[in-house]
Structure 1
């Protein structure tokens, strides 16, 4: 399978992107390189490889999931850039 300029234009239209001719040509080239690489990877024998959840071992990088006391109200608001006695204040974004 290879990617054509028509395919790139179709995907760009779906994503509402406007591409120049140079960008389209570059994407055709890049996408075809990616597909060629994927074809190469398909040739690798992975029958003895166990499926992974992560590509790196995260077993020792995660902390224990244990319940702790929640922050008290004053502590939670301590570093807020703007707060009153009960809430964080944020700029109004909806009129």
Structure 2
């Protein structure tokens, strides 16, 4: 496939990108390199190869949550710049 300025303009419009006129030549070169690489990959024989969902067979290893240090309600409010008996006070951010 031949990449030209019209193709770059269409791709930029679909991707909602603004590409400066002086950058278009570099984009054309980069897209041409990408397409030539993809053509190279199409030459590979992939019969019998299962498609991958993930790049590795690794599984996420999670850890159990362990409570290490607990602070009381009063200790949490102790360093707050502004608070009442039960809650932190913050400036109002939503107006009605």
1:32 corresponding residue in structure 2: 32
DSSP 3-state at the match of 2:52:
coil
Question: Is 2:19 aligned against 1:46?
Answer: no
TM-score by length of 2: 0.59
| Contact 1:2 1:35 (8 Å CA) reproduced | no
**Corresponding residue of 1:19:** 19
Alignment of 1:1-95 (within 5 A): 1-59=1-59, 61-63=60-62, 85=86, 92=93
Q: Is the 8 A contact 1:4 1:28 kept in 2?
A: yes
Higher CA-based Rg: 2
Structure 1, unmatched stretches of 5+, are 67-73
Structure 1 length normalisation: TM-score? 0.60
